[in-house]
Amino acid sequence: MFVFAQQPSLANQFVAELRDVSIQKDRLRFRRNLERIGELMAYEISKTLPYNNVTIKTPLGTSETQLLRQQPVLATILRAGLPFHQGFANYFDGAENAFAGAYRGYNPSDQDEFEIAMDYIVGPDLSGKTLILSDPMLATGRSLEKVYHALLRYGIPAQTHIAAVIASPEGVRYVQRQLPQCHLWLGAIDTHLNEHSYIVPGLGDAGDLAYGAKV
Ligand SMILES: O=P(O)(O)OC[C@H]1O[C@H](OP(=O)(O)OP(=O)(O)O)[C@H](O)[C@@H]1O
Ligand SMILES: O=c1cc[nH]c(=O)[nH]1
Ligand SMILES: [Mg+2]
| Ligand 1 centroid – CA 104 distance (Å) | 7
- Structure confidence at residue 112 (pLDDT): 82
Round to whole Å and give the CA distance between 71 and 50.
10
Q: Do the Cβ atoms of 72 and 130 come closer than 8 Å?
A: yes
Q: In the chain, how many domains are there?
A: 1
Cα-based distances in Å from 27 to 16, 32, 211 = 15, 8, 7
- Structure confidence at residue 107 (pLDDT): 85
Q: Is 147 in the pocket of ligand 2 (CB under 6 A)?
A: no
Tens of pLDDT, residue by residue, the chain (215 residues): 999 999 999 999 999 999 999 999 999 999 999 999 999 999 999 999 999 999 999 999 999 999 999 999 999 999 999 999 999 999 999 999 999 999 988 888 888 889 999 999 999 999 999 999 999 999 999 999 999 999 999 999 999 999 999 999 999 999 999 999 999 999 999 999 999 999 999 999 999 999 999 88
Report strand pairing: 199-200 vs 182-189: unpaired
CATH of the domain at 6: 3.40.50.2020
Q: Whose CA is nearest to atom 6 of ligand 2?
A: 205
For residue 55, give its domain range. 2-211
Q: Is 207 in the pocket of ligand 2 (CB under 6 A)?
A: yes
